Amino acid sequence: MTACTSTDSTPSASQKPSTVYEQYNDKVIHGIAYEEEKIYFSNAKRAEVESKIPQYMQQMKKSREQVIQMYQKVSQSVAKCKKIRLTQERIEGNIAYLTYEQTDICNPSSGGQQKQSVVMHNEQGWKIHQVEIAL
């Protein structure tokens, strides 16, 4: 008998959407390989991210690996500074809508609470489709 724990490297199809998102967020904070990160994305989100890489390579005159490293550093620094708390989780068929209250823990004087909205699709397990942060 094996148990599913939060240290598993891939999201489980039986997990709640919020559990998958929070597991992903925790991995971003601690550093996650790009190939592993893509496992958390919906097919459409993965295609969107992949389609932007060549554009950024050209704009920044950087290699694919350098663009990915920069993307990951920015994602990690943002995630490290945001403490999130789930305020709503609504599932409608194969789409989940999550709302988080987020607090800037790196700059507490920056203001009050911010809102983070996450849309996830169930594609043989919950996958991140869209993330919006209202400042």
Of 23, 27, 75, 29, nearest to 49 (Cα)?
75
pTM of the model: 0.85
**Is 26 a residue whose pLDDT tops 80?**
yes
Give per-residue pLDDT as tens, 56-92.
999 999 999 999 999 999 999 989 999 999 999 999 9
User: What CATH number should be reported for the domain whose range is 17-134?
Assistant: 3.10.450.630
Domains in the chain: boundaries: 17-134
The confidence score (pLDDT) of residue 10 equals 62
